[in-house]
Amino acid sequence: MTKRSCLMLCAALAAAIPAVVVGQGEKYPVTVIPPGKGPYTFAPDYQTPWDKIQIMVTARMSPNLFVLHGSEGLDPAHPEASGGRVMVLFGPDGVLMVDSQNRQVAEKTLAAIRSFTAAPIKVLVNTHIHSDHTGANAFFARQGALIFAQADLRAEMLRPPLRANGQPAPAPDMAGVPVSTYAFNPGTAGQPAVTFTMNGETVDLIPMMPSHTAGDTIVRFRTANAIYIEDFYRNFGYPFADQANGGSIKGMLDAVDLFEKVANADTTLVPGHGTFVKKKDLLAYRAMLVDVLARVTALRKQGKSLKDVLAANLTAPYDKTTLGDTQQSKDRFITEVYDEAEGLPPVVDGKRTMPAHP
Ligand SMILES: [Zn+2]
């Protein structure tokens, strides 16, 4: 071997080493594949090619707590990485999953889990009802998972709100409906409703106030010092309070404030989408919610219509620092704030009857 070829080979070997050494001296969390940044564009008639979407280990939060997420650039609902994140705690006590991803990629999600553990699937926790977080519930129940969630999520699943076109949603597959439920209690906000001790971890299911939906749960892993914070916070696209499913912009402010109680400065917060953050990173998001809520409320008090308020382009100061700032994302956010500016209808069975906008 010449000196030159040794240099090249040795350099190649050195570059390959981090990929094969797992778990020794790693500083967690380890990001394997970060979400994309965009911008992304899709043709109006674009259909998600589910067969092309891969489900991959995109981060490791500890030696036995992994994060799964889908491919970038294919799913217009979440172009930065398809679907919602799944967290998987594994070991001799079996597998605990947080969220189940889209139904269309259920086999691929299971295959990704089987790439690192053969342990039985025991527990599935749903952070909220959206199909990118619960779509494969029935599939994983058939693998053996007992499903946990807030009672409001179960109610939303059993009696879903009407679709945007006014049509009723199809009846759920009962195998995928959570069977162990708990409720948010304002008097004990931040305290776990359920705690699991598994695989060297302590896992807290903490029910949230109506924020992204009425049935939100955050999931804290005490040993890894990580919390799956679901979708009340996002850093790809503008905030989404699913008010028909009981969500609320003001509830999102309360959700941010709860992190004073449930996280420390070093806790890694894992949103359903976008990049990982720390609790201090929630503050700019909170300030934006407060600012936009105040501006929209003032315009509404002056008698402005939704159309006028949308035209006022109130998100302009935030577009530069908001990835995925599409017109659709802005309009949805401003419409939510407009609907909330004069109060929201009450939550009944996890749902609110929201006004229709032509
Ligand atoms: Zn969601």
Centre of ligand 1 from the C-alpha of residue 5, in Å: 52
Question: Three-class SS string for the chain?
Answer: CCHHHHHHHHHHHHHHHHHHCCCCCCCCCEECCCCCCCCCCCCCCCCCCHHHCCEEEEEEEECCEEEEEECCCCCCCCCCCCCCCEEEECCCCCEEEECCCCHHHHHHHHHHHHCCCCCCEEEEECCCCCHHHHCCHHHHHHCCCEEEEEHHHHHHHHCCCCCCCCCCCCCCCHHHCCCEEECCCHHHCCCCCEEEEECCEEEEEEECCCCCCCCCEEEEECCCCEEEEECCCCCECCCCCCHHHCCCHHHHHHHHHHHHHHCCCCCEEEECCCCCECHHHHHHHHHHHHHHHHHHHHHHHCCCCHHHHHHCCCCHHHHCCCECCCHHHHHHHHHHHHHHHCCCCCCECCECCCCCCC
pLDDT greater than 50 at residue 284 = yes
Range name among 4-8, 17-21, 125-129, 354-358 with the lowest pLDDT average: 17-21
pLDDT at 331 over 80: yes
132 alpha carbon – ligand 1 mean position (Å): 7
pLDDT score of 163: 80
Q: Is residue 324 assigned to a domain?
A: no
Predicted local confidence at residue 279, as pLDDT: 97
Task: Say if 331 falls within a structural domain.
Answer: no
26 CA to middle of ligand 1, Å?
A: 31
Task: Tell me whether residue 81 is in a domain.
Answer: yes
Whole-number Å distance, alpha carbon 231 to ligand 1 midpoint, is: 5
Q: Report which of residues 3 and 55 the model is more confident about.
A: 55
Residue-level length of the chain? 358
Averaged pLDDT score across all residues of the chain: 92
Q: Could you give the strand order of the β-sheet that contains 268-271, starting from the edge strand earlier in sequence? A: 194-198, 201-207, 217-221, 226-230, 268-271
CATH code of the domain in which 41 resides: 3.60.15.10
On whether the CB atoms of residues 132 and 123 are closer than 8 A, the answer is: no
Of 122-136, 154-168, 293-307, the poorest mean pLDDT is in: 154-168
Residue 52 · residue 74 · CB < 8 Å: yes
Of the listed ranges 128-132, 141-145, 301-305, 353-357, the one predicted with least confidence: 353-357
**Separation of CA 6 and ligand 1 centre (Å):** 51
Domain presence at residue 261: yes
Ligand 1 centre distance from Cα of residue 241 (Å): 9
Residue 357 has pLDDT above 60, yes or no: yes
Q: What is the pTM of this model?
A: 0.91
**Would you say residue 298 lies in a domain?**
no
pLDDT-above-90 percentage for the chain: 84
Beta bridge partners of 204: 195, 220
Q: For residue 234, report the distance from its CA to the centre of ligand 1, in Å.
A: 10
346, part of any domain? no
Q: From ligand 1's centre to the CA of 31, what distance in Å?
A: 22
Name the band, by pLDDT with cuts 50, 70 and 90, for residue 324.
confident
Judge whether residue 24 has pLDDT over 80.
no
Query: What pLDDT is recorded for position 112?
Result: 98
Rounded to 5 degrees, what are φ and ψ at 15?
Answer: -65, -30
Task: Using the mean position of ligand 1's atoms as its centre, give its distance from the Cα of residue 213 in Å.
Answer: 8
Rounded to whole angstroms, how far apart are CA atoms 48 and 72?
12
Domain count, the chain: 1
Distance between Cα 130 and ligand 1 center (Å): 5
Task: Give yes or no for a cis peptide into 29 (omega within 30° of 0).
Answer: yes
Residue 229 C-alpha to ligand 1 middle, in angstroms? 11
Q: Kindly give the distance from the C-alpha atom of residue 273 to the centroid of ligand 1, in angstroms, as a whole number.
A: 9
Region of residue 92 (phi > 0: left; psi between -120 and 50: alpha; otherwise: beta): alpha
Q: Please tell me the distance between residue 304's alpha carbon and the centre of ligand 1 in angstroms.
A: 29
In a domain, 104, yes or no: yes
- Predicted confidence at residue 161, as pLDDT, reads 74
Is 185 a residue whose pLDDT tops 70?
yes
Q: What is the pLDDT of residue 164?
A: 74
Task: Measure 10 CA to ligand 1 centroid, in angstroms.
Answer: 46
User: What is the distance in A from the centroid of ligand 1 to the CA of 232?
Assistant: 8
Which residues make up the environment of ion ligand 1, defined by Cβ < 5 Å?
A: 130, 231
Domain range enclosing 32: 27-284
Q: 128 in a domain, yes or no?
A: yes
Q: Write the burial class of residue 23 (CB in 10 Å: 0-12 exposed, 13-18 middle, 19+ buried).
A: exposed
Residue range 96-109, pLDDT digits in tens = 999 999 999 999 99
Confidence check: pLDDT of 25 > 80? no
